[in-house]
Amino acid sequence: MKKNVFFAFLMLNSLFTTAQSTASVASRPRLVVGIMVDQMRWDFLHRYADRYGNDGFRRMLREGFTCENALIPYAQTVTACGHSVVYTGTTPGLSGIYSNEWYDPQTGKTVYCAEDPSVQVLGGSSKAEPMSPRNMKVTTVSDELRIATNYRAKVIGIAIKDRGGILPAGHSANAAYWYDSQNGNWVSSTYYMKSLPDWVNRFNTRKMPDSLYKLNWNTMYPIDTYVNSDADDKSYEGKMPGAAKPVFPHQLESYIGKNYGAVAATPHGNTLTLEFAKQAILSEQMGADEVPDLLAVSLSSPDYIGHQYGPNSIEIEDNYLRLDKELATFFKFLDARFGKNYTVFLTADHGVAHVPEYSAEHNLPGGRRSSSGFAAFKLAEEKFGVKNLVINSSNYQVYLNHRLIDSLKIDLQAVKSFLVRELKKEPALHTAFDNADLSNAPLPAEVKEKFVKGYHPKFSGDIQLVPLSGFIGAGSTGTTHGSWYNYDAHIPMVFMGWGIKSGKTYRETYMTDFAPTIAALLKIQMPSASIGHVVTEVLK
């Protein structure tokens, strides 16, 4: 009798332990994949929807949850900020990542967001710059996952752009990889490891860019079916190296073995990145156990293409039709590997403005302006009788030469007031204001809040410039981003997979909401400076 009771107790205890173990495994996805599409405007989800297949973007919208009114809540809509904000849940004013690069008034030098002279590049050419995440001063959701699992979780960041791979991966990542345009290698730095893994070296020896160049780049469908885009031959579009015109077909074979950078400005860059991401999952055994892992993938090519041709080009439409197929293949790979036990989210770091000449053709507001040499700067020098009053003008910020002003005992406030008054007269600017008096900036409260969240006490300039809608920097072709306007700030926010409901919301959500939402999904702490909120509608 005692033996039977003891045996029954062992069986019950075994079942309870198994149930606990199963619950533990099922309580979190095995792998979270963050997909950042560099320069993807929200409307691209729907503009080309009638030409998408069923297994890429459409699948995400059908099976997953989409936030249709997701916005960037700060002013400087650029790559480094977007990549850091999605994973930190905070804004440039707190993260330390103020822009792609910024002027530091304390040192008088320009700082690149991921520069780190204390490390060395692994696998790079002689021109490759050493990089790490050290300029980011807060944690990411990637870091918090590592901490919560006592560093058993694997975290890897991948992107053609160094900042696109490094910043999302965080400080404690196992690795971050980016692309060296000089030699066609995927590289890293000694911040993460002593040498590149064998699988990365094997991948690099394939020289995949050369095989992709052999495919050239023509439209996937007959060119006259691209009715969602403007005409192909536009003088205001940028050209590929050596090309006579910015038109299809784009001949790439001449770049084989010579120009490894050009692949980034074609859809082949997406192919290259996702193929490397698959290899990382397989070689690093990501998602192979009950400890959740995180893979941060940024697709940099849409940004290069968008800058060169603009958001209304056939090149952009063809890029997204091809990317749709690439994502479908990638999702099938994840299905086969993990079944239903993975989660994907997709977003963008920013949008993009129309090419100003396109806007002019269609009677839309916009234009090009010079980012330096404002007439107001010269007028200030004349008024105060001294040259070099403005020491730097970048990122819509004007930095005054404080040492010079102090040494000559010039009234700083008088200089700022004069410049603000004159800058407001510039035809390409909506307004300008003194950053020290930001609370009284002549802007609606909703817009002013974006500049408050983008303000950094160490890196912001003396005067903030606010361009008119549709106005971008100087140049003769292509376009850019970086403003608070909706064409730059309205981004996709889509979740799919384990723990995600199916549906949509039209309420305002924000880029800062990604990190706390993923943290809630993984049952881990939010990043240290996160100010976002969990999008509760998304989670089961």
In contact, 484 and 447? CB cutoff 8 Å = yes
- By C-alpha distance, which of 462, 460, 456, 457 is closest to 404? 462
- By C-alpha distance, which of 281, 313, 315, 287 is closest to 301? 315
DSSP single-letter state for residue 130: P
How far, in Å, CA of 210 to CA of 216, rounded? 10
What residues contact 277, with CB distance under 8 A and at least 6 apart?
Answer: 158, 295, 297, 330
How far, in Å, CA of 534 to CA of 255, rounded? 46
* Catalytic residue numbers, as ranges: 79
Q: Is the peptide bond prior to 467 cis by the omega test (within 30 degrees of 0)? A: no
Tokens of 174: 């196992």
What is the H or E stretch that residue 536 is in? none
DSSP single-letter state for residue 51: G
Instruction: Give the other-Cβ count within 10 Å of 131's Cβ.
Output: 25
The C-alpha angle 271, 276, 280, rounded to 5 degrees, equals 150
How far, in Å, CA of 369 to CA of 358, rounded? 15
The C-alpha angle 492, 349, 35, rounded to 5 degrees, equals 65
DSSP single-letter state for residue 266: S
Q: 3-class DSSP state for residue 423?
A: helix
Tokens of 288: 């192979």
Quick one: CA torsion of 494, 321, 310, 484, rounded to 10 degrees?
0
- By C-alpha distance, which of 397, 398, 415 is closest to 406? 415
- By C-alpha distance, which of 320, 344, 345 is closest to 229? 320
What is the torsional sign of CA 529, 445, 77, 280? positive
What is the H or E stretch that residue 451 is in? helix 445-454
In contact, 34 and 349? CB cutoff 8 Å = no
